[in-house]
């Protein structure tokens, strides 16, 4: 609870017994974008120690999209709670990677450009097309910027605080 609530800022909005297994607690966190993150926990069970090593078909990591100005806040909270993390520039977005209490990799991603929600998929698909046409290994800022411009949207670049 502490990691998701206090470090990532996701309020715990519901805590109740699992309807199928009453000895298991069902936790619901508000991710801030209309979605819920849910966990089943059994009281007294120890958390996993160390990173998970999932195989093919398993969950590798969970990514959450945050506003760019929250990255510094998240970095500070991670440091305050002695969580290791790394910051990675992913071309069209910037990410913080860390682990939760069970060793699951958590990615906090922030877009480099403002994209309206109803145009997000279209902009990313067009950036992907431009990446392929350019023969680039990954989507870069110029691919997304060109896609946004082609869609007739204003180009609004986010400033990232130091993280």
Range of the domain at 1: 1-43
Same domain, 67 and 97: yes
Same domain, 80 and 97: yes
Q: Is residue 128 part of a domain?
A: yes
Q: Is residue 49 part of a domain?
A: no
Please tell me the predicted confidence (pLDDT) of residue 159.
84
Same domain, 101 and 118: no
Q: Is residue 54 part of a domain?
A: no
Write out the DSSP string of 52-87.
----TTS--EEEEE--GGGHHHHHHHHHHTT---EE
User: Beta strand 93-99 with 12-17: parallel, antiparallel or unpaired?
Assistant: unpaired
Same domain, 107 and 118: no
The answer to whether the CB of 59 falls within 8 A of the CB of 38 is: no
Give the phi and the psi of residue 125 in degrees, each rounded to 5: -65, -40
Instruction: State the chain's maximal CA–CA distance in angstroms.
Output: 55
The answer to whether the CB of 112 falls within 8 A of the CB of 156 is: no
Same domain, 35 and 21: yes
Q: How much is the mean pLDDT over the chain?
A: 89
Q: Is residue 72 part of a domain?
A: yes
N- to C-terminal Cα separation, the chain? 24
pLDDT tens-digit profile of 108-140? 999 999 999 899 999 999 999 999 999 999 999
CATH code (residue 99):
3.10.180.10
Q: Is residue 105 part of a domain?
A: yes
pLDDT tens-digit profile of 8-38? 999 999 999 988 988 999 999 999 888 899 9
Same domain, 64 and 99: yes
DSSP 44: T
């Amino acid at each position: 609870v502490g990691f998701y609530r206090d470090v990532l800022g996701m309020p715990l909005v519901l805590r109740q017994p699992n309807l199928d297994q009453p000895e298991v607690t069902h936790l619901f966190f508000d991710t801030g974008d209309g979605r819920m993150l849910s966990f089943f926990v059994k009281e007294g069970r120890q958390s996993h120690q160390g990173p998970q090593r999932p195989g093919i078909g398993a969950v590798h990591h969970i990514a959450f999209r945050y506003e760019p100005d929250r990255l510094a806040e998240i970095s500070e909270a991670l440091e305050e709670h002695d969580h290791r993390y790394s910051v990675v520039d992913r071309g069209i977005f910037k990410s913080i990677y860390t682990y939760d209490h069970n060793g699951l990799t958590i990615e906090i991603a922030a877009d480099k450009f403002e994209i309206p929600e109803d145009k997000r998929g279209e902009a990313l698909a067009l950036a992907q097309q431009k990446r392929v046409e350019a023969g680039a290994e990954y989507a870069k800022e110029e691919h997304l910027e060109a896609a946004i411009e082609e869609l007739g949207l204003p180009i609004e670049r986010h400033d990232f605080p130091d993280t």
